[in-house]
Amino acid sequence: MFPLLDFQNAIVQKLLHEDALSILAQGLGHIRIATELVRFCATNHSLVLVINSSSTQEQHILQSLLQANSTKNDELSNLHIVNTDTNPASRAKIYLQGGVLFVTSRILLVDILNQNIPLQLVTGILVFNAHSVSPDGNDAFILKLYRDNNSEGFIKAISEKPYHFVKDFNQLEKSLKLLQLRTAHLWPRFEVNIIENLSNKIKVIEVRQKMSIKMIEAQQTILDCTVATVDFDEFEYSISTDFQTKVRNSLNPYWHRVNQKTKQLVNDLGTLRFLMNILIEYNCVDFNDFLESLLLSNINSNQSIFRNNVDSAWMLTDSGNLLFNIAKERVFRINKNNLLDSFVPNRLKSLGFPADLQLVLEPQSKWDTLSSILDDINSKLSKNKDKGSNNHPILIMVDSEYSLQQISGYLNTRNKDIDVPHVVEAGKYTGISRNHVDHKVEHGKYNKLLIEHLQKYFFYKRRTNQVRKMSSHNNTLPNVEPSSNKNANITVNRNPQYKRRRVRGSSLAASTSRQSSILQNTSPLELEKQSEQIANRIPESENSYSSIQNEFMNHSTRYITASDDVDEYYGLIPNEDLIYIRAYDSSLNLQVLEDLKPSTVIMYSPDIYFIRQLEIYQAQFPESDIEIHFLVYDNSIEEQKYLNELRREKEAFAQLVHTNSTMVIPLQQSGLSKDIETEQRMSLLRSVAPLNFSGNSSNLTHNSLGKSIGSSKLKVIVDMREFRSSLPFALYKSRPKNSGPGQFVDVVPKTLLVGDYILHDKCCVERKSVADLVQSLSSGRLYTQATSMSNYYEFPILLIEFNSNLSFSLSNIWEYSSENALSDVCSKLVMLIISFPKLRILWSPSPASSANYFLDLKENHPEPDVDRAVGIGTDESYESIDTQYNNTSFGILESLPGVGQSNAYKVANKVSNLSELCNLSLEEMQKLLGKSNGKELFMFVNQTN
């Protein structure tokens, strides 16, 4: 772990001086700053909790502190990770030891509510990834509990996502209130201290690679499909990651009224944006394979239980049709010439391909550029090696694990191209009666990696066809029969399978220069038929996957015999001869640079985060002569996304600076009352001893330590599994009617076998979200839960809770099940009510409404017994309601006129036996059962005939 830069040290010192939310630009080393905060807090005189941190961040911080030269053993002993693997007894001991604790939010919340951790002794809380703290989440619940019970401890938050604090109106102020803070520190890249610290020049070689003609055409068709899908003025924003999310969030309250076509268009936005990304990243074979999978999924949707009977609109446009043709043309073409040289079919047959297949296999444009860069670097390194200078390894950074595997495969096979001949037209001469065409055989070299992918593509295509033939006759995929004549040319139907419409604007599909090619292109379904026919004509013996693998192993592996020199094959590889390929990882990028110390870094794809970390690395090691090769496709979506990211961050900080200077946050933010003088005094004490100060000594008395978190009389017992939802937090924030200051609902987390919420000893509630309701009704679990609640509680309640951001309606329930889900759910609910007459159903539009329902149901009832609620279902001393009555007498009672399942328990609780019931007067029976039922029972008991 290397020393902090000046601006990083300023960030740490400013955070230690006051409680605040620190918002950094991406890549400025927020993990390094968080590590320094943890190291500073790791003393046995304090108890500091770290929440909302990922497991990767936790491990990185621990490893950094372990590797630091200045780290002492007692500091590491004060660092603990508390998760589900730590039992409650061990957690209680860890809390008492002090130090810094990385705690899972749900576990910490349960321990706080169970009073297993003394909040009055907690020195402070560090909040990582503050942008992800949600209003209804457990992290906000923890912070509110902490501030309500400890007004003197510190809260410090850190985030590197500035645009998350400007995505909604007044978002920064809302986030500060959730974090129980009043101050925000902004650290953009254009801050003066940061500019001075990162002023070291880095040798950057920008390589603007041009895309191939087919890639440009494919990119333009995807853009045309996007334009045809969404009508939006700022098209650059419409291709961003957040656009689809914002559109869906805006439509969520009215989602049940939106027609199926609009819903499909919203889903298509994400699909098209993903196609833009994989066009740059995937090789031609995998890109074509993914497009075909989209086509098949669109066809099969009419047979699926999730069907919406609406096709993807972009597939029906001319641009969508052209995209499928371009993707196929990048991989292979069908050779329709009858004059084929005998050598060509034999060579194709040896590779597992039919004779009339003409390979194209267009490589990624960046591959040759990457190979050229590596050759140049190796030549320079060899010259430096001759001069006796020390060289360092080469580091290649990619944006995903897929790219990592692909680049690794390409570098291993870049000098192993496969020669495949094909027949081409040499010239055409026009005669009086016929045309004469000359042909010649040309040899083309194709990348071995693409040959492997194409062989696998046809292998799985053939396997899919075989499965389709064995499937049921009602499969929606068309059955494609192979041609009877294997040497005949493939003929396809030129009639369009779908009705198409023109796209707006000067799209590629609509341009006049491409009209002839559009007319010659085939539809996506016809292209799929071509691939199936080719796969069907490949002999099984030559298309087996094992034979393909063995062939490549024979070509690429040399076996060592006893006569070979072992030292020639085994030994240490010089560091300068190594090429490392890594995927971008915000938590590990800087660590990779520090460990490898590369002489050359090749950024295969642009990444703003990694560029900033390269600047920090250069500032930490100014003597390092590192060379950066920056690869980007010219005039591409890849370049546009990178520029949009830079502009987005700059605009976000500009808006944050303005908001931070004008926003007003109320002084009384917590539930505790404290004047300005007290606040200033506590701030002064925290500035003098920010960590060892744990509060006023009067708060550390025996009485305060034994004080309950909730001094209110209202108590709700909650199953611990329910803390994955937001209802417990809504209960805590709710205020009873006519409540005094400091009075709130005491949420008691326990493990319950019957019910999710116990309001009092006679009432329990089972909460179900819409998705859980559908699943529980289908599996029968809800019937079992209703049985248990009816057996042990007099007032069982089923709470059906909707998402507050969605519509309060069951109309969109089909998303969780089949088309007839609404009628199916309603029918099952009716049968459930008939089977359990005591069961009541509460329909709640939001967790806040559910909390208000609970407060109303608790009125005029004593608080629940915790031991009884926990023991129900396990302890035999708590008998069910049914076992409290004689089964024979209770059966006779239910069979009497005017008495049924709905009121039998009420009658059984009022009278001790049937004789007492028969001796009741008419007025008493009517008071017990109602006028009509009471009169009916009285007439039956007292009739003389």
Q: What does the domain layout of the chain look like in residue ranges? A: 6-198+656-702, 211-363+439-468+507-537, 366-415+573-632, 715-871, 885-942
At 81, phi and psi to the nearest 5?
A: -110, 120
Q: In the prediction, which pLDDT does 515 show?
A: 40
Nearest to 415 by CA among 447, 443, 442, 444: 447
Q: Please, is 609 exposed, middle or buried when counting C-beta atoms within 10 Å of its C-beta (0-12, 13-18, 19+)? A: middle
Task: Give 612-630 pLDDT, tens digit per residue.
Answer: 999 999 998 888 888 999 9
CATH tag, 366-415+573-632: 3.40.50.300
**Quick one: CATH architecture of 715-871?**
3-Layer(aba) Sandwich (3.40)
Q: Is 695 left (phi over 0), alpha (psi -120 to 50) or beta?
A: left
> Tokens standing for 401?
């694990």
Q: What share of the chain is helix, strand, coil (3-state, %, to 5)?
A: 50, 15, 35
| Predicted confidence band of residue 90 (pLDDT cuts 50, 70, 90) | confident
* Tally of CA atoms within 13 A in the half-sphere of 485 that contains its CB: 5
Residue count of the chain? 945
Mean pLDDT (whole number) for 12-38: 92
3-state secondary structure of 65: helix
- Give the chain's mean pLDDT: 78
**Quick one: CATH architecture of 6-198+656-702?**
3-Layer(aba) Sandwich (3.40)
**Which fold is adopted by the domain 885-942?**
DNA polymerase; domain 1 (1.10.150)
Q: In the prediction, which pLDDT does 809 show?
A: 78
> Tokens standing for 410?
């390409």
Q: In the prediction, which pLDDT does 685 show?
A: 42
Task: Give 356-409 pLDDT, tens digit per residue.
Answer: 778 889 999 999 999 999 999 888 877 776 665 566 789 999 999 999 999 999
Helices (H), 557-667: 589-596, 608-620, 637-662
Q: How far is CA 84 from CA 107, 108, 854, in A?
A: 8, 11, 30
DSSP letter, residue 491: -
> Tokens standing for 825?
């759910």
CB 442 within 8 A of CB 422: yes
Nearest to 723 by CA among 82, 128, 148, 113: 113
Bridge-based pairing state of the strands 763-769 and 795-801: parallel
Mean pLDDT (whole number) for 28-38: 91
CB 527 within 8 A of CB 289: no
HEC profile for 377-408?
Answer: HHHHHHHHHHCCCCCCCEEEEECCHHHHHHHH
| Predicted confidence band of residue 74 (pLDDT cuts 50, 70, 90) | low
3-state secondary structure of 561: coil
CA 269/CA 230 separation, integer angstroms: 8
* Tally of CA atoms within 13 A in the half-sphere of 816 that contains its CB: 18
Q: In the prediction, which pLDDT does 366 show?
A: 93
pLDDT of 638 > 50? The answer is yes
pLDDT of 832 > 60? The answer is yes
H or E, element range at 149: helix 138-149
Mean pLDDT (whole number) for 876-880: 53
Say if 366-415+573-632 and 715-871 have the same CATH topology: yes
| Predicted confidence band of residue 107 (pLDDT cuts 50, 70, 90) | very high
Mean pLDDT (whole number) for 217-228: 90
